[in-house]
């Protein structure tokens, strides 16, 4: 964590807190490392932009070799399409209600758009939304691999692909999300194995239906290390670009690979064994628990024990660590994704803290 502390010391007089600080050199190392991993394992990487929601960062990922991007909703896809990204996978089981149908149709006119689906009703809705040109839209069937989120049983994938093809849509392949790999360090490998089992079964189901699964798409940052099965064609990690305490605790990254922290200032110290920071749920979100904390102070064992909307409660561990009022501290979030949506821009520097840029969080607020 020395890189974080060094950068903050150089920046402290030039920023207002709370503020999300991105170490661009660490971030670029993360991007390059993931690209090298996929090259070694004959995989494509399609990073999930929901983590950063920033056009500049996505451009860096594509320049490094990403085949396209993954988005979490139609609004995110629109923001990145408007910025020139023309290969987008909307990895979510979209229901094309309200304005979404025509928005998807417009996106498909100007991009190679893939959309997730896990049921017949959604497939029919997407086909209806595409009107006379359903073949402009590629559908990727989502299957469940044990996370018990969205996703059809793997054995149903072929029937869903066939239903899409019969409606004129293009069934491109299958995807899944091994979210149960975040349960703990020992869960990552098992979740990746579950992912492989589900994807293999889904591809077999496609074959039985007479449909070719050209895309076999896997996630996520915690399980990427083990997502090297020959059945997989691409991976969709998101958090790897910044990393966070959750991934460090899982063993999916080292602390030196964390590229984002939130600078917060000590504003009160009346309680002998505690200080208060100007950083609460409005900045960090609510990820955490009293047992593991709501974010850690880089370079120390101290963690925030409680958050109010604008207050962060920091118990002081034994050993002399007692920051004074006015001290700016680097808070590393448990989960980076909920932090990003709370800010309009990143403060971008490097590990030396000598440079300073501001990059907009372009897709902030786009929730549908």
What would the pLDDT profile of 21-59 be if each residue is shown by its tens digit? 999 999 999 999 999 999 999 999 999 999 999 999 999
Give domain status of residue 43, yes or no.
no
Whether residue 120 is contained in a domain is answered as yes
Residues 263-283: what's their mean pLDDT? 96
Q: How crowded is residue 155: how many other Cβ atoms within 10 Å of its Cβ?
A: 14
pLDDT score, position 144: 98
What local confidence, expressed as pLDDT, does residue 94 receive?
A: 93
Predicted confidence at residue 320, as pLDDT, reads 76
Q: 259 and 26 in contact (C-beta within 8 Å)?
A: yes
Least confident of 193-197, 309-313, 320-324: 320-324
As a whole number, mean pLDDT of residues 357-362 equals 98
Q: Give 48's contacts (C-beta < 8 A, 6+ positions apart).
A: 69, 70, 71, 72, 91, 219, 236, 237, 238
- Which helix (H) or strand (E) element contains residue 245? helix 245-250
User: What percentage of the chain has pLDDT greater than the value 90?
Assistant: 94
- Mean pLDDT in residue range 294-310: 96
Secondary structure of residue 267 in the 3-state scheme: strand
Which domain covers residue 99, as residue numbers? 86-237
Residue 267 lies in a domain: yes
Question: How confident is the model over 114-131, as a mean pLDDT?
Answer: 98
Domain co-membership, 216 together with 297: no
Give first-to-last CA distance, the chain, whole Å. Answer: 36
Residue 69 has pLDDT above 90, yes or no: yes
Q: Is the pLDDT of residue 319 over 90?
A: no
Q: In this structure, are 120 and 213 located in the same domain?
A: yes
Q: Please check whether residues 230 and 98 belong to one and the same domain.
A: yes
How big is the CA angle at 84 (ends 79 and 86), to the nearest 5 degrees? 95
Predicted confidence (pLDDT) per residue in 175-218, tens digit: 999 999 999 999 999 999 999 999 999 999 999 999 999 999 99
Q: Read off the pLDDT band of 99 (50, 70, 90).
A: very high
Are residue 154 and residue 208 in the same domain, yes or no? yes
Q: Is 39 within the bounds of a domain?
A: no
The whole-number pLDDT of residue 1 equals 56
Same domain, 269 and 218: no
Buried-exposed string 251-283: b where 16+ CB fall within 10 A, e elsewhere: ebbebebbbbbbbbbbbebeeeeebbbbbbbeb
Q: Report in angstroms the alpha-carbon separations of 114 from 88, 95, 101, 140.
A: 6, 14, 14, 7
Cβ-based neighbours of 210, under 8 Å, separated by 6 or more: 162
Q: How far apart are CA 329 and CA 155, in angstroms?
A: 51
* Res 2 pLDDT > 80: no
Whether residues 230 and 306 fall in one domain: no
Contacts of 101 (CB under 8 A, 6+ apart): 125, 126, 128, 129
Provide the pLDDT confidence category of residue 61 given band limits of 50, 70 and 90: very high
Say yes or no: 176 and 259 in one domain.
no
**Mean pLDDT in residue range 88-117:** 97
According to the model, what pLDDT value does residue 92 have?
95
Strand-pair partners of 349: 23
* One domain for residues 259 and 329: yes
Residue 130 in any domain: the answer is yes
323 & 259 share domain:
yes
**Can you tell me the mean pLDDT for 326-336?**
97
Specify the number of domains making up the chain: 2
């Amino acid at each position: 964590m020395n890189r974080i502390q060094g950068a903050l010391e150089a920046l402290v007089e030039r920023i207002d807190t709370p503020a999300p600080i991105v170490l661009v050199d660490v971030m670029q190392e993360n991007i390059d490392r993931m690209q090298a991993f996929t090259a070694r394992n004959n995989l494509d990487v399609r990073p999930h932009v929901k983590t950063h929601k920033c056009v500049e960062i996505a451009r860096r990922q594509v320049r490094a070799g990403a085949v396209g991007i993954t988005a979490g909703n139609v609004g995110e896809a629109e923001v990145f399409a408007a910025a020139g990204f023309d290969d987008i996978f909307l990895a979510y089981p979209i229901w094309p209600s309200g304005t979404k149908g025509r928005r998807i149709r417009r996106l498909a006119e100007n991009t190679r758009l893939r959309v997730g689906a896990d049921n017949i009703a959604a497939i029919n809705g997407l086909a209806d939304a595409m009107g006379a040109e359903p073949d402009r839209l590629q559908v990727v069937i989502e299957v469940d691999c044990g996370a018990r989120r969205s996703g059809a049983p793997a054995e149903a994938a072929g029937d869903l692909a066939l239903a899409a093809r019969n409606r004129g849509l293009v069934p491109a392949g299958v995807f899944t999300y091994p979210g149960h790999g975040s349960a703990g360090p020992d869960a990552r490998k098992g979740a990746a194995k579950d992912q492989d089992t589900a994807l293999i079964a889904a591809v077999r189901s496609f074959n039985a239906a007479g449909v070719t699964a050209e895309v076999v798409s896997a996630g996520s940052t915690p399980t990427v290390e083990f997502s090297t099965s020959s059945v997989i064609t691409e991976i969709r990690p998101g958090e790897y670009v910044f990393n966070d305490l959750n991934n460090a605790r899982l063993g999916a990254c080292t602390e030196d690979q964390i590229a984002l922290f939130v600078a917060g200032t000590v504003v009160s110290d009346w309680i002998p064994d505690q200080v208060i920071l100007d950083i609460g749920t409005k900045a960090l979100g609510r990820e955490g628990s009293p047992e593991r904390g709501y974010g850690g102070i880089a370079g120390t064992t101290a963690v925030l024990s409680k958050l109010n909307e604008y207050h962060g409660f920091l118990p002081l561990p034994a050993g002399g660590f007692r920051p004074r009022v006015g001290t700016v501290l680097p808070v590393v979030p448990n989960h980076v994704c909920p932090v990003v949506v709370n800010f309009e821009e990143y403060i971008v520097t490097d590990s030396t803290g000598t440079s300073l840029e501001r990059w907009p969080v372009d897709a902030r607020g786009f929730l549908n």
